[in-house]
């Protein structure tokens, strides 16, 4: 089983795939009042639990790149990424993938006036029946499906295609 992550300081997207089939896609929100150390502790615990319960053999994560529009993420995201590494207990294979790489292998392109979040969401909504809202792990309320969900799905599909592997998603 492979865990795919779009690590973020507010909401981390994830996809899990096994033997060429996507087993699940979702997000993990952090409570707004949490500081980075709390987020790191939670991510480390969550990844460790997921790796143990789902027999995760590899973690593929989107390589962090500095975003001038969100300078706060410049501190939090690398620390949360380190928590993911710690949560894997070093027993899992870790691999990064750039956003440009997974987007290319998913066939995503955008015009200069478009933004990647909208292009990615539209692309995957055209292919799959994705809910407009999903339940928050923090509040239990329905929230708009965030871009992290679509990015995690893209990381999973793009990585498989980049490696010449078949991938399918047959939702129940």
The shares of helix, strand and coil residues in the chain, as percent rounded to the nearest 5, are 40, 25, 35
Local structure of 34: helix, strand or coil: coil
Residue range 16-46, pLDDT digits in tens? 999 999 999 999 999 999 998 999 999 999 8
Q: What percent of the chain has pLDDT over 90?
A: 67
pLDDT at residue number 172: 54
Which of 29, 41, 56 has the alpha carbon at shortest distance from 142?
Answer: 29
Residue range 108-140, pLDDT digits in tens? 999 999 999 999 999 999 999 999 999 999 999
* Contact yes or no for 113/93 (Cβ under 8 A): no
Residue range 149-171, pLDDT digits in tens? 999 999 999 999 999 999 999 76
Cβ neighbours, 10 Å, residue 153: 28
Angle, CA 61 vertex, CA 60 and CA 63 arms, to 5°? 130
Q: In Å, how far from its chain's centre is CA 142?
A: 19
pLDDT at residue number 152: 97
pLDDT at residue number 68: 66
Local structure of 162: helix, strand or coil: helix
* Contact yes or no for 62/97 (Cβ under 8 A): yes
Q: Which domains does the chain have, with CATH numbers?
A: 2-162 (3.30.420.10)
pLDDT at residue number 24: 93
pLDDT at residue number 124: 96
Local structure of 37: helix, strand or coil: helix
Residue range 48-100, pLDDT digits in tens? 888 877 788 899 999 876 666 666 556 677 788 888 878 887 667 889 999 99
Which of 53, 62, 56 has the alpha carbon at shortest distance from 157?
Answer: 62
């Amino acid at each position: 089983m492979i865990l795919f992550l779009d690590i973020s300081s507010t909401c981390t997207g994830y996809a899990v795939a096994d033997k060429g089939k996507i087993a699940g896609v979702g997000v993990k929100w952090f409570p707004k009042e949490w500081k980075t150390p709390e987020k790191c502790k939670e991510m480390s615990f969550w990844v460790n639990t997921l790796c143990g319960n789902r027999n995760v053999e590899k973690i593929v994560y989107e390589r962090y790149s500095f975003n001038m529009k969100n300078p706060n993420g410049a501190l939090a995201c690398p620390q949360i990424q380190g928590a993911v590494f710690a949560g894997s207990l070093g027993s899992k294979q870790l691999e990064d993938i750039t956003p440009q790489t997974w987007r290319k292998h998913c066939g995503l392109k955008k015009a200069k006036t478009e933004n990647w979040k909208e292009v990615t969401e539209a692309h995957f909504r055209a292919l799959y029946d994705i809910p407009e809202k999903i339940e928050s792990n923090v509040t239990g309320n329905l929230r708009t499906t965030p871009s992290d969900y679509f990015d995690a799905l893209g990381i999973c599909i793009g990585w498989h295609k980049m490696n010449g592997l078949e991938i399918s998603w047959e939702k129940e």
